[in-house]
Structure 1
Amino acid sequence: MSRALNVAPKIQPVDIVGRFRDLERGVRTHENNPIGLPDAPQGRLQSMPIPALILFKAFCYIDQEFRLPLLTGEYLPMPDPYSQITTVAPGILDVLIKAMELRAADPRSQAIRKVFLSLVDLPDAARVLEIGCGSGAITRELAHLPKVAEVVGLDPSPVFLAKARQLAAGIANLYFDEGDARSLPYADNEFDLAVFHTCLTHVPGPEKAVAEAFRVLRQGGHLAILDGDYSTTSVAVGDHDPLQACAEAAIAGLVNDRWLSRRLPGMVRSSGFHLQRLDSYGYLQADSPDYMLTLVDRGADILVNSSRIDSALADGLKKEARRRAESGEFFGFIAFTGLVARKPPL
């Protein structure tokens, strides 16, 4: 199906709400005027100035699977690779592993986790489960916490798990299993702590994962969730900053639900947990912004792969990010939400 759009006499912002209504009805915009502009270029960002790219940004979530593209009327599937991790190409997996390890090693991330994990009251000889452990960076930290007897890291990716086992060699109380967060391969009441670290925003149907965590926790056990409020992601230093398009493309292509952290309190309560703490942690990189530069790079690559910009413009955006980093002008920020909840004791 299709419908014609009313063409404005001058450039107007895209009516995102109207687009969502159309998309919910399964209606596609008219192919000859995909974004409601006179003589709009057909999928060629090279013909459109960068301010227009920012003005008409449309990295919006639609049923957690499709995003409204910038310059075409088609619905381009841009799945979060973590949510389909078992089918992702090896080269992409290597990039994701490096990014996970890089962020985990960052002193700012370490400081956030130290404060966050100190809020969890563990019993002696605790059994801990990290759900969605990836390459095991956080699982390794959990294994060294006081009172922890055993840690299990679970992930659906055999490639991630192979790397996790390699990096965890020699840690005697650490084990890894393959499995789905929404159908945990464990009996009821097995663990004292279940941890989701930057995991739930990548899981389609996260409420199922939270319910499963409730099931496998012992009475009085704790749930600890630390995840990005990715709607706050920014590398902009002013209005219409072209680098922000890269950051938003990265989040649109790498996160299943950027708004999830704001719904977590209701979600955990619905699963039966008693909410104990809800905190926000600012993750800021200005000096040595290694991780945030990877977001710019991956976002630029996503824009190229979806035919929104050409490789020359992508290279220029990456170079601009590094110029800012070298001159002390770079700014990168993500707010993280920390939640601690408890399964009611008997």
Structure 2
Amino acid sequence: MREETLLIVGNGVLAGHVLYILSHGTRYKKIVIGSRDIERASRKANTLQQHALNIGYDVDIEAIHLDLDNIHQTAASISKVSPAVIFNTASMQSWWVVTTLPDEVRSKVAETRFGPWLPMHLSPTLSLMEALRQCENDAIVVNAAFPDAVNPVLARNGLGPTVGIGNIANVVPALRLAVAEQLNARVQDVDVRICGHHYVSYRLSRLGHPDGAPVFFHASVNGTDVTGSLDQNAVFRSLTERHRRTGGVEGQPVTASSAVAVLEALQGRTRTLVHAPGPNGLPGGYPVWISKAECEISLPQNISLDEAVSVNETGQIHDGIESIDKHGNVRFAEEQMAAMYDLFGHQCDELRLADVHEVAKDLSGRYQHFLERNGLVH
């Protein structure tokens, strides 16, 4: 049973969408929701199991108590479940929370970019990975919490998740559709390979261009390279025109489906091509072959792995992360950290793994105070 058990850590919006998709059929024989709120998680598990039966699927879903603030308890829970794959959705603050602020406030907060919020995503993931090491479970970990940066930070400390989800993967369906339309081809025959950081995927879907950050893009139709014959700017622009989609919380089904593609591929005997951030501890996003036996970067011949990594490392600077050193220490970009200080009074020029929980708690408290000060908490 172990090889067919999936543990989902967290019970928020993304976890709910992923569970909904998996309830329509999955390669996993058992799905376990690990949550602090066992009552709410149990109701969700029961709801989705009954939903599945209504439409002809028999999916085994249950809930367990799991508190990432208690590493020993988390380790014991993981040992009991003995999952083959763990999907981490836990974060101290979901990325979309800021998108719910009033426009004027949101535009000011947007100046901080995403990088300086790293502690909020890194802290729970670090606890999970420490618990996993403590219980000596060798489960594959798929991380949804800012994997472009969280995965490489943890990997350089021997605690890296295997791969992430979302971000660069979220723009691939629209890019395939745009290429197919421009070349009058079937979308099923179109293959897109793209390398880019979270910053790139966020800007492409909202601006129709990478906003100055580097991105590698390659397209083929039935195996023939068509990149040079495309109007690439028009392809990118289509993400805000013809193929514009819903963002924020309402856009989560796209992220959830990218997660399901990865999770299902990890139970496959033949490899599946996906796009994913943070594979094998690399920064940013890449095309990746995934199966039960492998997680391997899949680049076209005209770009090397070093070049792809460089594209992503430059992209992370645009997102407010100056660098991640070989020890996993993070230096934040001066401009974005200045914006964090102006808005919240939060200052963290360099983040060390040993300080992550303390810094995350400080940032969370300062953000809550900011909301209260601006009358945004009822």
TM-score bracket for the superposition, by shorter chain length: under 0.3
TM-score, normalised to structure 2, is 0.25
Higher Cα Rg: structure 1 or 2?
A: 1
Larger proportion of helix: 2
